[in-house]
Amino acid sequence: MRSVNLADAKARLSELVDRAAAGDTVCIMRRGKPVAQITAIKMRRKLIDLAALRAMTDSMPRQRESARDFVRRLRDEDRY
């Protein structure tokens, strides 16, 4: 757990939130005493409906050319 005084926390709040989102816990201190803690919120992952995903991808039209040929054509035509 990382400890930061309140003045530094105010100045670097975005950085501290990013650290918390990455899994670190940040303790905010006032006059040497802990007063707050920033931690990541544990969010449940939404399950993927495989049948719906398969139905959606099956309904999509097939590409006329491979990704390799498409990128090569864009590169050769200077359209990127």
Domain membership flag for residue 25: yes
The reported pLDDT for the residue numbered 58 is: 94
Domain membership flag for residue 61: no
pTM: 0.52
CA-to-CA dists, residue 73 to 4, 61, 62, 77, angstroms: 53, 20, 18, 6
The reported pLDDT for the residue numbered 7 is: 93
Residue 19: CATH number of its domain? 3.40.1620.10
Domain membership flag for residue 9: yes
| 80 residues of the chain, pLDDT tens digit each | 889 999 999 999 999 999 999 989 999 999 999 999 999 988 888 899 999 999 999 999 989 999 999 999 888 887 55
Nearest Cα to 8, choosing from 24, 28, 25? 28
The reported pLDDT for the residue numbered 80 is: 53
Q: Residue 33 belongs to what domain range? A: 2-38
What CA–CA distance (Å, rounded) separates 42 from 45?
9
